[in-house]
Structure formats: structure tokens, C-alpha cells
Structure 1
Amino acid sequence: MVNRRDVAQSRRLRPPAAAAAAGILFAVLFASSLVLLRSAIPEDPFAQTIWVPQGRTRITVALVLAPVACIAFLWFIGVVRDHLGDLEDRFFSTVFLSSGLLFLAMTFVSMAIAGAILTVTEQSVAGASVFVYFGRALMLQISNVWALRMAAVFMISLATIWLRTGLMPRWMVTITYLLAAVLLLVISRSLWTTLVFPTWVCVVSIVILTPGRRKRTDDDVPV
């Protein structure tokens, strides 16, 4: 007689092997999008709006890359949850998942504002310069302040899960806490600050892809 439980286990969906590289793909695309976008935006918040038509190509390419990067980040979240397996803690996983989704939502809003700036300048709307100044400031506030804080919460919750389960090496947990503290406490419009998160995601993906990083069961959890 066929055991239904064995059949159900054999039919369980498994993530494709390529999914494990989603974090690397996110890091490359998201970092490229940030670099292109920020290279087109002047440091002076009240610089002449001529920078918009001058950087139109770079901004457009950044807006094409960003959604693909965000989709890859969703896959990365799925890979991390699969890596946790049965050891996933409901409390910390809820914070981890919610902060990740909020980070994505704020990224989409920030990119949408960049797209709106392009549209307004294309149409030569009266008073467009005021909108460009406001849109630029709002975009940087969302991406460099609020989105990065959600990224920090994402990192802290995940590092805590790793610490309790032992799924990641201690050096990775320590680095994650330190980088999260930087993103949580430092308010900066620097491009380098925004690149901290995609770089961290890339490193996490590489560690997960490293041979020998297997899932653990409840019996493996350190007491």
C-alpha cells in the first residue's frame, strides 16, 4: 500500500536551483540602478533642473533595472525562508517578511517618483522646476532614510534567527548586526550608504550557495 504521507512529501514543491542566486542578481541589478540614478542627480538640491534631460538615459535604464531587481529580492526572501525550513520562528519571521516587503514598497515608490520627474519635464509643465525639486528631495528621503531603516530591521530580524538556529556562521551574524546598526542610526544621502544593503544580500547569497550550508532540523538547534 502506498503511504500517502510519503507521496505528499515527494510532491512538495522545491525551489529551483537557480533561485539560490536570486540575491546575487538583486545585488547586481539594484546596485547598478542606484549608481545610474544617483550619478544623474546633482548633490546640490537646488541645482538647475537641466540635470533631468541630461541624465534621462541613465534614469530610464535605472527605472528598467529596478523592478527586475525587486522581483529578484522576492525570490531571495523565498530562498531565505526555504533555508530556514522548519526552524522558522513565527515572531521574527513576521518582522523579517514585513520589513522586506516594506523595503520593496518604498523602493517602488522612490522609483515611481523618479519616473514622474521624467514625465513632468518631458511635457514642459508650468512650474515643473518646483515639482522636480520636491520630487528629488522626496525620492532621496524615501530611499536613503525610510527604506534603509526597513532594510536594517530586515537584517536584524534575520540575524537574530540565525543566531538562535545556528544556520549561519557567527561572523556573518556579527557583521549583519553591525551593518544594520549603521543603516538604522546613520542618516546620510551618500550613495555608499545605500549600497550597503545590496552588498550584504550578495554576501548572504554566496554563503547560502556555499557547499555544506545545509538545512538543519530542530535536533540540530543549539540549546
Structure 2
Amino acid sequence: MPQSPSADPSPGDHPARPTAGEVTRAALKTPKAAAIAGIVFSLLLLAIFGLLRSAVPADPLERGIWLITDRGQVGLALNLVPFAGIAFLWFIGVLRDRLGAQEDRFFATVFFGSALLLLATIFVTAAMIGALLLASSVTPADVLVNSPTFTFARATIYILVSVYAHKLAGVFLFTTSTVVIVTRIAPRWIALLGYALAVIVLFGSYFISWSFMVLPIWVLLMSIHIVMETFRRPV
């Protein structure tokens, strides 16, 4: 007798296989330890800023005595900058991971763009300070500080920090605080504090030389909340 063809299995007989995208997302799950990146960045930036401010005067017309007396202190601060930058990138990644599908394209672009530009400005400033240190090791300090090269480099460093870095930090605080309010990924008071600190950075940097310090302080508060929420969740 001819055998009857076997019946095709119904779609419900076998569970649906996960797609390649779902497997990739599961494999690339953000580690919980990444939540501490913001804390690392905040502490490093506070240390860097403290070391540089105690050695290098804020006056762009200063005479460069720090090239002789505080070379080790300034060099230590510059060596910490790359690690702070890496930690900042991880912090941005943690924020975007928490936003998930709630991420708005407009605010995400400004938020991410201002963070990258701020990081680039910090790196360029550190590179210029490092170049002055390197130049002072092969050129007598009294000759270097009286040269047009030192005047130009010192003025450029001052403008990068007091104008561009401060304004980018203010934009980052403002956009990130807006994202926090809209998505509720953190308490509302953190966002309101971010708005207040953004105003200080944007409009008070000329009068308050330490106003840039508000950025790592706010990131530290935000990171502590993220760490508490992250490790409170079940695995």
C-alpha cells in the first residue's frame, strides 16, 4: 500500500527560534559593573582639576613658573586624563542603555554630541599642556615662557577651558537633565539640580573660576543613583 504523506508540523509544534539580533543583544548585555564608570570619571576629573588648579594659575598671562616648580604634579594630572575620558565614555554608554527605547533622537543627538565634543576639548587641552611640558624639558624655561609660542599656547588653553569646555559642559547638563525629566530614569530633583548647575556653568564661568567642578559633582550624584538602582535589580 502506498504510504500516505506525513502531515506537516503545525507552526505551534516547535518554539520560535530567536533571531540573530536577539542573540546578539543577549550576548552584549551591559555589565552591572559599568554603572560605576560615572563615579570613576567624577573622582578622576575632580583630582585632575584640583591638581591643575593648584599648580597652574587661572590667569592666561601668568609667567609659567609651574613649568619649573610643579612639573610632576601637572604630569600626574595629564596622565589621569585618558582614564577619565574612557570612564566618561562608559558613563555615556550606561545612560544610553538605561534610556533604551525611550531615547529621543533630537535630545540623544545633542546629549551624545556635546559629550563627545567636551571630551575632545579636554583631550586637546591636555595635549597642549603636555606639549608645553615637553618643550620645557629641551628649552630653558625662562626662554620658553618669554617666547610667542608659550603666549599663544597658554592663551589657547585658557580659551579652550574657560569658553568651550564650560559651555559644552552646560549643554551636556541641560540636555541630560531634560532627558532625565522626560524618561524618569532618575529622580526629578537630580534633573532640577542639573538645570541650576547648567546655568552656573553657562553664565557664571567668567565670575566663578571653579564652576567647571559642578559637572563631575552632578555626574557623581547621577552615578550613585544608577549604581543603587542597577545592583538592586535581580540578575
TM-score with structure 2 setting the length: 0.83
Residues 197 and 214 in structure 2, CA contact (< 8 A), matched pair in contact too = yes
Q: Which runs of 4+ in 1 moved over 6 A?
A: 212-215
1:140 aligns with one of 154, 158, 161: 158
* Cα 1:61–1:212 shift into 2, 3 Å: closer
Query: Relative to structure 1, is the Cα distance of residues 189 and 69 closer, same or farther in structure 2, using a 3 angstrom cutoff?
Result: farther
CA distance in 2, matches of 1:43, 1:147: 14
8 Å contact from structure 1 (residues 207, 213) kept in 2: no
Could you tell me which of 176, 180, 186 is aligned with 1:158? 176
- Once the two structures are TM-superposed, the CA of residue 10 in structure 1 deviates from its matched residue by 5.1
Counterpart check, 1:207 vs 2:225: yes
Aligned to 1:220: none
Which residue type is aligned with residue 162 of structure 1?
Answer: V
Structure 1 residues 211, 49: closer, same or farther in 2, change over 3 A?
Answer: closer
RMSD over aligned Cα atoms: 2.3
Give CA-to-partner distance per residue, 1:74-133, whole Å, 9 cap, x none.
000000000111100011000000000000000001101100110111111795213333
CA shift, 1:140, in A, is 2.3
Larger radius of gyration: 2
Is the alpha carbon distance of 1:213 and 1:91 closer, same or farther for their aligned partners in structure 2, counting shifts above 3 Å?
A: farther
Find the aligned partners of 2:231 and 2:177 in 1 and give their Cα distance. Answer: 16
Contact 2:60 2:158 in 1 (8 A): no
Deviation at 1:3, TM superposition (A): 2.3
Give matches, 1:70-109, under 5 Å. Answer: 70-109=85-124
User: CA 1:190–1:137 in structure 2 vs 1: closer, same or farther (change >3 Å)?
Assistant: farther
- The 8 Å contact of residues 20 and 205 in structure 1, kept in 2 or not, is answered as yes
- Aligned CA distance change for structure 1 residues 161 and 211 (closer, same or farther; 3 Å): closer
Once residues 64 and 20 of structure 2 are traced to their aligned partners in structure 1, the CA distance between those partners, rounded to angstroms, is 63
Query: 1: CA distance between counterparts of 2:203 and 2:63?
Result: 32
**Structure 1 residues 212 and 109, CA gap change in structure 2 (3 angstroms):** closer
Q: State the 1:33 CA deviation.
A: 1.1
List per-residue Cα deviations over 1:30-73 (Å, max 9, x = no partner): 11111111211134544433321211001110111011000100
Distance 1:183 1:107 in 2: 16
2:31 to 12, 16, 19: 16
Q: Measured at CA, do residues 44 and 95 of structure 1 come closer, stay the same or move farther in structure 2, by a change above 3 Å?
A: closer
**Distance in 1 separating the partners of 2:185 and 2:58:** 42
Letter in 1 for 2:221: V
SS of equivalent to 2:229: coil
Partner residue in 2 for 1:128: 144
Conserved? CA contact 2:35–2:230, under 8 Å: no
List per-residue Cα deviations over 1:135-177 (Å, max 9, x = no partner): 2232122122211211111111111122122222111111011
State the identity %. 40
Counterpart in 1 of 2:197?
Answer: 179
Distance 1:132 1:190, change over 3 A: farther
Change (3 A) 1:189 1:26: farther
Amino acid at match of 1:4: R
Contact 1:140 1:189 in 2 (8 A): no
CA distance in 2, matches of 1:149, 1:41: 21
Query: Number of paired residues?
Result: 215
The residue identity in structure 1 corresponding to 2:184 is G
Q: CA deviation at 1:213?
A: 9.3
For 2:77 and 2:182, locate their aligned partners in 1 and report how far apart those are by CA, in whole Å: 38
